[in-house]
Amino acid sequence: MPLWKRKKVGLIDLFETYMGHDYHWYLKTDLRTDLEKAYREPNSLAVREKLCKMLIIWALGASYSRYTQAYVPLVDSDHVSDSAPICAKCPGVEFFDQAMTFFKMPSEEPNIDHVEVLNLIAWYCFSMNRRKTAYMYAGLASRIARTLSLHTPTVESSRLRSEHKKRVLWTTYLIDWMTSLAIGQRPTLLLGEVEVETPCNDDLSEEEQLQFGNKEVLNMNIDLCRAQMQTATARLQPGNHAGLRNKIQPSIDFLQQWQAGVAQSCAFTSFDSGIPPDMLRKPEVRSISSIYLRYHQIFILLMRPVFLALLDHVFNGSISNDVIEDLIALARQCMSAARCNLRILESLNRVGKIARHGFWESLHLFSALKIFALGTLLSEIRPFETDSHADDDPTLALTSKALLQDMADSGNFAAKGHVKMLSDVEQVLQNATHGPDFSIGDYLHFDSFEDEIMLGSS
């Protein structure tokens, strides 16, 4: 295989390793055929349109490489002009810039290729912390999908094309939902408008199935999105102590129902030692792990205010005794979710499948480490027995902090910010041990930052 082809196919393979199952981006076999055509017929108009898609995939593949030095300026994306270019030192940006020179905004004759390309552009922009830009591209993809009636059942000449359209629609929906909620906007495409069935391999030949990722993993993602919607209005606020179990129990039930409904081939049965060895050998392990990371993160966001309530009680005695037991039980669940996420990330790092420049890995590390810090503080100043700490908790915390620091040192923008925030959080919590001058309000602005950026996490 020529060197150029080996490198380009390697980037495609890397992208599909990380993102090839929890979403459906394109027909896999067809893409590799298009790669051959691109080098045989470089001046063809059809090839130029396909090349735009391939360049973005190469950009994404480069962003997941362990050997790429990434750098993104540490600035507030809310104050960056959407017209400003993505930093020239971002991983894969050379490919992305080339892709955008080939990209043409569809007008009166859009097709499904436009939807695929826009989904990829939106994902790359979001990965580079350009959330508003990602939202606009994802919204355009949703509008084209609606124009093409991808959200409604249609009779196709082949089962392959029908399944492809269906999976592209669901991917478009998931990305639109994520990017919209990340900036507090209403999604363009609502779940109630989607009339097509979820992904299915029925009637597909073995050769046709090679065009797609694992449909069970994509269905996991869709179902978790539905469960996450049910938790959106149930998040606790400081001071909301009485009856809180009744408030969040329906959300907990939705999440537990999701876990119980996961296909056996994709299910993690235990996180005591991280990702089970048999799961690590699966080609879908990265996609499955990403979904479980989000599952535990929903628990963390749902129940993290419990720790603030317990801290408030320690210093102000603000909670009645009959509520304390419920708070402690919820805190244990939250600690368990944080521990599971750190063990998943540790396992991925051990086998070289961590996205060193990834936004979500950094956020999951920060979020779980913050829970560990809160749990440790409560145990020190007033033992509530919020959790029977695992023997490896101190080592797990140190290893995870080292991983976060390593990601920051490699140029990960999000990790740099999260390292600074974790240091600030630990300082605030350390101050809490010095006496009654501590106010729970000192902690809240650290909590609200993470809540804001996690509204649409994926």
Q: Which residue has the tokens 């409904």?
A: 261
- Among 220, 207, 365, 350, which residue's Cα sits nearest to residue 287? 220
Phi, psi of 436 (to 5 degrees): -75, -5
Confidence of residue 349 (pLDDT cuts 50, 70, 90): very high
* 274 strand-pairing partners: 272
What lies within 8 Å, CB to CB, of 248 at 6+ separation is 231, 234, 235, 236, 302, 303, 330
Q: For residue 321, what are its two tokens?
A: 């005794």
- More reliable by pLDDT, 242 or 94: 94
Confidence of residue 354 (pLDDT cuts 50, 70, 90): very high
CB 247 within 8 A of CB 237: no
- Give 55-82 pLDDT, tens digit per residue: 999 999 998 987 654 433 333 444 444 4
Confidence of residue 389 (pLDDT cuts 50, 70, 90): low
How confident is the model at residue 443, as a pLDDT? 55
Confidence of residue 119 (pLDDT cuts 50, 70, 90): very high
- For residue 384, is pLDDT > 70? no
Phi, psi of 241 (to 5 degrees): -100, -45
Give percent of the chain with pLDDT exceeding 90. Answer: 47
Mean pLDDT in residue range 140-157:
92
Highest mean pLDDT among 20-24, 186-190, 200-204: 20-24
State the Cα–Cα distance between residues 318 and 76, nearest whole angstrom. Answer: 36
* CA distance to 11, 119, 141, 159, 177, per residue, from 147 (Å): 32, 16, 10, 21, 18
Range scoring the smallest mean pLDDT among 106-110, 179-183, 269-273, 358-362: 269-273
Range scoring the smallest mean pLDDT among 42-46, 264-268, 325-329: 42-46
How confident is the model at residue 302, as a pLDDT? 87
Mean pLDDT in residue range 183-201:
90
- More reliable by pLDDT, 338 or 318: 338
How confident is the model at residue 452, as a pLDDT? 42
* CA distance to 130, 183, 189, 191, 235, per residue, from 186 (Å): 18, 9, 9, 12, 19
* CA distance to 41, 50, 157, per residue, from 203 (Å): 34, 28, 13
Mean pLDDT in residue range 217-237:
81
State the Cα–Cα distance between residues 102 and 97, nearest whole angstrom. Answer: 9
- Among 218, 26, 221, which residue's Cα sits nearest to residue 114? 26
Confidence of residue 392 (pLDDT cuts 50, 70, 90): confident
Phi, psi of 71 (to 5 degrees): -150, 130
How confident is the model at residue 82, as a pLDDT? 44
- Among 281, 253, 199, which residue's Cα sits nearest to residue 22? 199
How confident is the model at residue 80, as a pLDDT? 41
* CA distance to 248, 428, 441, per residue, from 438 (Å): 28, 9, 9
Confidence of residue 360 (pLDDT cuts 50, 70, 90): confident
- More reliable by pLDDT, 13 or 378: 13
Range scoring the smallest mean pLDDT among 188-192, 252-256, 438-442: 438-442
How confident is the model at residue 388, as a pLDDT? 53
Mean pLDDT in residue range 12-28:
96
Mean pLDDT in residue range 175-189:
88
Mean pLDDT in residue range 424-446:
64
Confidence of residue 83 (pLDDT cuts 50, 70, 90): very low
How confident is the model at residue 385, as a pLDDT? 58
Confidence of residue 221 (pLDDT cuts 50, 70, 90): very high
- Give 290-301 pLDDT, tens digit per residue: 999 999 999 998
How confident is the model at residue 442, as a pLDDT? 54
Task: Supply the mean pLDDT for the chain.
Answer: 83
Q: For residue 306, what are its two tokens?
A: 């419990």
